[in-house]
A and B are shown apart, each in its own frame.
Chain A
Amino acid sequence: MPNMSLKKHEMPTQEPSVRSRNFAEVALGYTAETAVEEAQRCLHCKNKPCVGGCPVRIHIPDFIAKVAEGAFEEAYQIIQQTSSLPAVCGRVCPQETQCESKCVRGINGEPVAIGRLERFVADWHNAHSCDLPAVAQPNGHKVAVVGSGPAGLTCAGDLAKRGYDVTVFEALHLAGGVLTYGIPEFRLPKSIVQKEIDNLKALGVKVETNMVIGRVLSVDELKEEYGFEAVFIGSGAGLPRFMNIPGESLKSVYSANEFLTRVNLMKAYREDSRTPVLRAHKVCVVGGGNVAMDAARCAKRLGAEEVTIVYRRSEAELPARAEEVEHAKEEGIVFRFLTNPTRIVEGENGMAGGMTCVRMELGEPDASGRRRPVVVEGSEFEIECDCVIMALGTSPNPLIKNTTRGLDTQKWGGIVTDEHGLTSREGVYAGGDAVTGAATVILAMGAGKTAAEAIDEYIRSKN
């Protein structure tokens, strides 16, 4: 008899007043008992709509059935067949627009908490299982993966499971891409990212850090000199945008990428960190995506008394996940909607002293269907602040495009591929933000998965 409760089992979280002062994980995860209870809410419907909502097609009802029985390791094995990073996805996927949006229980009540269950299973495995995964029989073919973010890691994991000899090349000193430098510790503990990468290494994936492809080696050299039969480019979209307004060069003006890299990758939030970060009193974050929420919540945790998110559209248009906005509000982040900066004012000692903004109103819908914000004449006002973080989005770094012969890209820098991830170059595939521009972790993983299948087919058709 299924558990007919209309609501998801709550997941305990740290109190907002406490957590806004530390970098420990906010959501604490299910216990074995609550996981079993939640799993019993699944109706095991025949057509499994939830699976269709998952970009990597996890066999959701099957793993949930195992959780309901208390067979957690078996549940992990089912997830692991299709997903390489379950502990990550269970935490950062927007399940409300993916698997859980399709759940039948959601029609009359809340959907099954698929994400929380996935997270529970992965954490349980990582804490309890010492079994090494079965390593596939080597098939003698070499594939290179450029970038160790979600797209690259997924592609590498899937190919390794098929017996390929896979090497991942990472530019930074730690693997993980945005999982390591971007998403903060309190949403995604770095020990969990590291554990997922170790799981991939146990499958035989090699990870070479400090390798900037496009500088140290080119894609062409990987193919021609180093014998990689195919290359997957998962180099992301890491190039930050600025507004080009006066005052952007002041000392305490950061791109969100810089601020988050200092805090997360370099651990500048620790008192004993050797990488500095400014600890400001009043911080303005410009933008409304998940990156803006992450930056604002980090600034608060670094001790800022006041953190304001400045966004040019209204609350309804915020691109960030509802849960992140909710968490930010609970932690005391202030939101100023329909507000756009025009100038950063110099304060003491070359630092920012304030930000001049204008009020906006929503006009006619633009080409994308969203109502375009229009400046309200004469509405200028100033927000006092001593630090500004620009979270306006990112575009693909041109390094790979500029150093790879015959690789077609869009005007804005995205690599052009077909639906299987094949680029204009034979044997060169791409996926994730490098192709789509800044999107989500799970879409990048889906692209990595699709490309792995295409690479497998390509190499097998050649031999």
Chain B
Amino acid sequence: MYKILKKKELNPTVTLMEVDAPFVAKKAEPGEFIILRVDEEGERIPLTVADFDREKGTVTIIFQIVGGTTERLNQLREGEFIHDFVGPLGEPSHVEGLKKVAVVGGGVGCAIAYPVAKKLHKLGAEVHSIVGFRSKDLVILEEEFRAVSDEMRMMTDDGSYGKKGLVTDALRELIEAGNKYDEVIAIGPVVMMKFVSLLTKQYGIRTVVSMNPIMIDGTGMCGCCRLTVAGKTKFACVDGPDFDGHEVDYDEIMKRASTYKEFEKRERELACNLFKKEVK
């Protein structure tokens, strides 16, 4: 059992939790993830390590309420326990040796992009952050990003905050302005990572994306999270989750992600009814 030491709502659908998990905290690196089970009947879901404190033995997770399990997780309060919490899993992001990087985050993906930007900044790289949200009330981690970025672009779909437009618009602008990036790191919805990759391919800039397929065990024993990279089958839980953005088959990933859509809808309704919440 893993105690929730801190819980904070970052926006109406995104929550931060600091969890007491010393073994995970001791080894965690940006880019890695954990798998948790809310309670004894729960399913296993993957969440990226958003931050960690080795001395305190804590790991921070940030999640968006999108279905039954995240709804149930969000019902837990400070001082309560998560039944299972295993990690760190996956390969850490490779950020050593990079001099100038554009970090692109979309929505809750910013929670995953932030620790990578933070580490790059700590290693002395020049970090340009481009973060995108649907609207102003969904913005998360703005101050945190500003603190580790040499240049920061805030984008919203509806223009309610920062600049109106997509992250790709801002990225193109920065590239066109003559910024020479060693690498672009894009983390967010699959469709966003796809379009970032299409853009950077035109300029020949190496691009790394963080994949989030369906997972169960997260240790490489089932292949549920398989995806095609450069024509080869890879398991995101052990070979990734980071992959070369120009080599990933995005359409296949989007298809596979919808496998249990009907089931997930029902689960969400069940959880919402249980907590007497309006089903969105």
Segment of A19-27, A36-44, A237-245, A296-304 engaged in the interface with chain B: A237-245
Residue of B69, B216, B217, B219 near A274 (CB, 8 A) is B69
Residue of A242, A258, A278, A397 near B233 (CB, 8 A) is A242
Residue of B42, B44, B222 near A257 (CB, 8 A) is B222
Report yes or no: A239 in contact with B220, Cβ–Cβ below 8 A. Answer: yes
Q: How far is the CA of A125 from the CA of B124 in the complex (A)?
A: 65
Closest residue of chain B to A262 (Cβ to Cβ) is B216
Closest residue of chain B to A218 (Cβ to Cβ) is B27
Q: Which A residues touch B86, using CB under 8 A?
A: 171, 173, 210-212, 216
Report yes or no: B255 in contact with A212, Cβ–Cβ below 8 A. Answer: no
Q: Tell me whether A172 is interfacial, beta carbon within 8 Å.
A: yes
Q: Tell me whether A123 is interfacial, beta carbon within 8 Å.
A: no
Q: Tell me whether A5 is interfacial, beta carbon within 8 Å.
A: no
Given A249-B233, A262-B216: A274 in contact with B68 (beta carbons within 8 A): yes
Q: How far is the CB of A395 from chain B (nearest CB, A)?
A: 11
Given A172-B217, A215-B89: A240 in contact with B84 (beta carbons within 8 A): no
Given A215-B88, A215-B89, A242-B233: A255 in contact with B23 (beta carbons within 8 A): no
Q: How far is the CB of A208 from chain B (nearest CB, A)?
A: 9
Q: How far is the CB of B115 from chain A (nearest CB, A)?
A: 17
Q: How far is the CB of A125 from chain B (nearest CB, A)?
A: 27
Report yes or no: A216 in contact with B43, Cβ–Cβ below 8 A. Answer: no
Q: Which A residues touch B219, using CB under 8 A?
A: 171-172, 212, 215, 238, 397, 399
Q: Tell me whether B259 is interfacial, beta carbon within 8 Å.
A: yes
Q: Tell me whether B221 is interfacial, beta carbon within 8 Å.
A: yes
Residue of A215, A255, A266, A397 near B44 (CB, 8 A) is A266
Q: Interface digits, B218-251 against A, CB 8 Å rule (1 contact, 0 not)?
A: 0111111011100001000010000000000100
Q: Tell me whether A251 is interfacial, beta carbon within 8 Å.
A: yes
Given A171-B86, A257-B223: A276 in contact with B217 (beta carbons within 8 A): no
Report yes or no: A240 in contact with B221, Cβ–Cβ below 8 A. Answer: yes
Q: Which B residues touch A262, using CB under 8 A?
A: 216
Q: Tell me whether B263 is interfacial, beta carbon within 8 Å.
A: yes
Report yes or no: A251 in contact with B259, Cβ–Cβ below 8 A. Answer: yes
Q: Which B residues touch A173, using CB under 8 A?
A: 37, 44, 83-84, 86
Report yes or no: A216 in contact with B217, Cβ–Cβ below 8 A. Answer: no
Report yes or no: B264 in contact with A276, Cβ–Cβ below 8 A. Answer: yes
Given A242-B233, A261-B217: A274 in contact with B41 (beta carbons within 8 A): yes
Q: Which A residues touch B84, using CB under 8 A?
A: 173, 209-210
Q: Which A residues touch B85, using CB under 8 A?
A: 210
Q: How far is the CA of A399 from the CA of B220 in the complex (A)?
A: 9
Given A171-B86, A251-B258: A274 in contact with B223 (beta carbons within 8 A): no
- Most A CB within 10 A of own CB, among B83, B221, B249: B221
- List residues of A (231-278) whose CB comes within 8 Å of B's CBs: 238-240, 242, 244, 248-249, 251-252, 254-255, 257-258, 261-262, 266, 273-276, 278
Beyond the given pairs A216-B27, A239-B221, A276-B263, 17 more chain A to chain B contacts, judged by CB atoms under 8 angstroms and listed by A's residue number, are: A171-B219, A173-B86, A215-B89, A216-B23, A238-B220, A248-B233, A249-B226, A251-B255, A251-B258, A255-B223, A257-B221, A258-B223, A258-B224, A261-B222, A262-B216, A266-B216, A278-B259
11 A-B pairs within 8 Å (CB atoms) are namely A238-B220, A239-B220, A244-B233, A254-B224, A257-B222, A262-B216, A266-B216, A274-B69, A276-B264, A350-B258, A397-B220
